[in-house]
Amino acid sequence: MPDTFHWLDVQRIAEELAEAHPGRDPYQVRFTELREMVRVLPGFQEQPGHPVNEKILETIQAAWADERDEADRDED
């Protein structure tokens, strides 16, 4: 995986969030908090001209939930 990623790297963000916050329910995280959680991930860099919006945050949230669910299935 590349060392850095940005808002459009939704799958990478979801994987990083699932690893960093294994006990969190993505659907209980407000978008303002989610935005900050992503910004502090190691390797995350915002790119000029690619701001985050609600649609991107919704997509990240759903992908994070999928990652969490997949991890739960792998444990069973």
Flag whether pLDDT at 74 surpasses 90.
no
For residue 5, being part of any structural domain is answered with no
Flag whether pLDDT at 22 surpasses 60.
yes
Residue ranges making up the domain that contains 37: 10-75
- What pTM value is reported for the model? 0.89
At 17 the pLDDT is 97
Tens of pLDDT, residues 25-41? 999 999 999 999 999 99
Look up the CATH number of the domain holding residue 25.
1.10.10.600
Helices (H), the chain: 10-20, 31-39, 54-75
Residue 36 sits at the vertex; the CA angle it makes with 30 and 41, to the nearest 5 degrees, is 125
At 40 the pLDDT is 97
Flag whether pLDDT at 76 surpasses 70.
no
Count of domains forming the chain: 1
For residue 55, being part of any structural domain is answered with yes
For residue 4, being part of any structural domain is answered with no
